[in-house]
Structure 1
Amino acid sequence: MRIAVDAMGGDYAPEEIIKGTLMAAEKWPNVQLILVGQQERILPFFVGAKPANISLVEASEVIGMDEHPANAVRKKKDASIVVASRLVKLGEADAVVSAGSTGAQMAAALLGLGRIKGIERPAIGTVLPTAEGGKLILDVGANLDASPEQLCQYALMGSIYAEKILKIPNPRVGLLNIGSEEGKGNELTQKAYSLLKVAPLNFIGNVEGRDVPYGRADVVVCEGFVGNVLLKTAEGLAGVLFQLIKEKITSNLIRKLGALAVKPGLKEIARMMDYAEYGGAPLLGVNGISIICHGSSKTKAIFNAIRVAQECIDVRLIEQIREGIPKS
């Protein structure tokens, strides 16, 4: 198993990317990890001998977060994300992991790997912590708009991912909408509902935004604009709630004493809500495993993204999606 890691992508690259890769190399000595990037910036972070299961591939260019993704991918043929994706295309790596520009990673995947037959557009699937464990939301930003047919394709891919990776048997698929009744929503959701009703999956109907944190659907389907707003609202709300809890339970001596009793539980909740625990989000629908990480990913997030990549390889995710998507 070989996983290419974009060493230059992310707010804390290359140091945190390398640390996460080193942690993964120690945990999984049989996994070959390929750090792709500018070697003069990578090598100083290795103290002593480089682990035997880490190799380096030179990539002289970097795509910045402010660059136009498709144009940058076409112009910078030696950019780290382009080279890492090319390794997957050539069969020299089984997956790519990056915390760099999401747009550039999407462009590199589409231009380099192509789409799975039967998939019109890829979708980013993110695991969102809920009261019932991690649930999958897609699309969260690969495409801002979508057709009813594309939402149905997202649902099929999401159902496969939830079953094979999240280990949820017969996952419940819900369509994000403004009401639970059939016939609610705009033209897009109404048409998508009709398609999902007859699709080969466990469609439970519409789910509202308030249903999502309770985990009432294992897979929540929506277009990328709505999904991205949902994801970032959830992230912001979780951050504000923990900030307020910390302020209020430490505001006086009596509350501080009480805080000692609830501290273990709060730590457990914080761990459940930490995106770094979930690693990265798969770009579903491209013809190769491409794991997208949060731009602010540090050691733990990169380590867990490599874990997610391994899981996708182990279950032959691309083959599973190919088999599960109608070809006509």
Structure 2
Amino acid sequence: MEKFEGVIALDAMGGDYGPEVTVPAAISAIKDFGIKVILVGDPNEIGKELSNFPKEITEKMKVIPSEGVVNEGESPVSAYRNKPKASIFVSAGLVKKGYADGVVSMGSSGATLAAASILFGTMEGIERGSIGGPIIGYSPEMVLLDLGSNVDTKAHQLADFAAIGDQVSKLMFNKENPKIALLSLGSEEGKGNLLVKETFQLLSKSSLNFVGNIEPEDLFEQKVDVVICDGFVGNILLKTTESLGRKISKEILDKTGNKEISDEILNKTNVLSESYGGGPIFGINGIAIIGHGSSKVSTIVNAINTAKLTLENDWVEKQQTAIKKIRSEIKD
């Protein structure tokens, strides 16, 4: 494979720790992967962190100034109108203008999704980008989507998600023919609400390796490679799994004092973000990686590498091809 020559725009202000972790991560990524990273944010804060590193490294770094950040809880669309110079919007704008090939942010997931959807545009027939990935430590190679971007979904949209999930599994976990299942309240055909039943019929027509419905209890057994659901169900599942893991972990720590077991429970039930650093937004005409706000240096380095991986593997084109194929297979 040829050496990657792309440029990654890093939202240096995003996340809980900002430049304190994003700047060292950018420098590590440059050293480890030989790629170019543009830091976007407050030049003074970024400069303070850069001063901790050798000049021969930092003088090669490009810093693009921005003004402010979008906080969790803010309306992403309102923020886009009222804070156009916020770090995530400036970062995504660099991709839009051709100065960078992909964007990485540990900041507001809603703002990153909005920035990517508005500035990159969505693929034909896709109303809004979606997010997903491996979320359960017991099933570390099981991709689940959508995780909250699209709460009101039609059957043909879930079919699109299945085609995208198939590509994610192949790219991230090297699965040759991923097993794809539909999340429902029973494994038998005919179980579920109207949306699930309609989607089941569509996926049965496709050439994907669709194995039918899967029940929630089986999500912790890595029985399939891709699980499809609408964003309403997916986000509830995500937050329930996370909160239950934290509750059980704390209970064990409080009652036994055994931090090793407590941490193990937390890792098995929480979102897996360390290995990949974050996940790509699906269904958009560009590369945008969303990471967790609490990410530390090593996680952000991995997120930058995930951006590199998607660019090297023509991720956007593969999604577009997969979506066109499944639509041709399921149309009446």
Q: Same fold (TM over 0.5)?
A: yes
Cα distance between partner residues in 2 of 1:224 and 1:293: 18
Kept in 2, the 8 Å contact 1:130–1:214? The answer is no
The equivalent of 1:312 in structure 2 is: 310
Name the SS of the counterpart of 1:275 in structure 2. Answer: coil
Cα distance between partner residues in 1 of 2:207 and 2:304: 31
Cα distance between partner residues in 1 of 2:174 and 2:59: 32
Distance 1:175 1:280, change over 3 A: same
Matches within 5 A, 1:229-248: 229-247=236-254
The equivalent of 1:6 in structure 2 is: 11
1:299 matched to 2:297? The reply is: yes
Residue identity matched to 1:42: I
Residue identity matched to 1:209: P
The equivalent of 1:145 in structure 2 is: 152
The equivalent of 1:16 in structure 2 is: 21
Tell me by how many angstroms 1:224 deviates: 1.0
Cα distance between partner residues in 1 of 2:245 and 2:265: 10
Kept in 1, the 8 Å contact 2:252–2:262? The answer is no
How well do the aligned residues superpose, as a CA RMSD in angstroms? 2.3
Matches within 5 A, 1:1-328: 1-28=6-33, 30-46=34-50, 47=52, 48-49=54-55, 50-51=57-58, 54-247=61-254, 250=257, 275-326=273-324
TM-score (norm 1): 0.88
TM-score (norm 2): 0.87
Name the SS of the counterpart of 1:174 in structure 2. Answer: strand
Name the SS of the counterpart of 2:295 in structure 1. Answer: coil
Name the SS of the counterpart of 2:47 in structure 1. Answer: helix
Cα distance between partner residues in 2 of 1:198 and 1:114: 29
Residue identity matched to 2:14: G
Identical aligned pairs, as a percentage?
39
Distance 1:250 1:102, change over 3 A: closer
Tell me by how many angstroms 1:250 deviates: 4.6
Cα distance between partner residues in 2 of 1:238 and 1:270: 5
Residue identity matched to 1:59: S
Structure 1 residue ranges without an equivalent (≥5): 252-258
Distance 1:243 1:181, change over 3 A: same
Which whole-Å deviations, capped at 9, do the CAs of 1:232-285 have from their partners, x for residues lacking one?
22223333444444455557xxxxxxx9xxx6x998887676532331021100
Which whole-Å deviations, capped at 9, do the CAs of 1:268-303 have from their partners, x for residues lacking one?
887676532331021100100111111222222211
Cα distance between partner residues in 2 of 1:237 and 1:271: 12
Residue identity matched to 1:123: S
Cα distance between partner residues in 1 of 2:96 and 2:283: 15
Cα distance between partner residues in 2 of 1:21 and 1:13: 12
Tell me by how many angstroms 1:191 deviates: 0.8
The structure that is strand-richer by fraction is: 1
Cα distance between partner residues in 2 of 1:53 and 1:152: 45
Give the ranges of 4+ consecutive aligned residues of structure 1 lying more than 4 Å apart after TM superposition: 244-251, 265-274
Structure 2 residue ranges without an equivalent (≥5): 1-5
Name the SS of the counterpart of 2:84 in structure 1. Answer: coil
Cα distance between partner residues in 1 of 2:264 and 2:250: 16
Kept in 1, the 8 Å contact 2:76–2:110? The answer is yes
Number of residues of Structure 1 aligned to a counterpart in Structure 2: 316
Cα distance between partner residues in 1 of 2:30 and 2:201: 47
Distance 1:143 1:132, change over 3 A: closer
Name the SS of the counterpart of 2:134 in structure 1. Answer: strand
Kept in 2, the 8 Å contact 1:25–1:54? The answer is no
Cα distance between partner residues in 2 of 1:146 and 1:314: 31
The equivalent of 1:256 in structure 2 is: none
Kept in 2, the 8 Å contact 1:175–1:189? The answer is yes
Cα distance between partner residues in 1 of 2:59 and 2:152: 45
Residue identity matched to 2:41: G
Kept in 1, the 8 Å contact 2:153–2:230? The answer is yes
Cα distance between partner residues in 2 of 1:155 and 1:52: 45
